[in-house]
A = this chain, B = another copy of it.
């Protein structure tokens, strides 16, 4: 039961970028959005999330900039770049192919 983090692996970047397509955001908010959008089916680990940000900034898919919370506390925001958008769209295309491949090997309970 539960989700296979081994499959999500390699799609965490895509998930994060998807949410950044709407608007810039920051770690904690992204984490919340993933929870709510999946009805708690997937709860990303903090370390996974923040290391994804670091990696994607290095790859040029996102850019960070400093921001502030309502109460004045510092927060690091991330926005998606053009390159990140292209990458995201590629991953969406790739997903369809990958899904098709795997589903050739999935059986329903009756068989």
Contact = CB atoms under 8 A, between A and B. Distances in A.
Contacts of A102: 7-8, 11, 14-15, 95
Interface string A79-96: 000000000010111110
Contacts of A11: 4, 6-7, 102, 105
A19 interface: yes
Contacts of A4: 10-11, 91, 94-95, 98
A69 interface: no
Interface residues of A, number: 37
Interface of A: 1-4, 6-11, 14-15, 18-19, 21, 37-38, 41-42, 89, 91-95, 97-102, 104-109
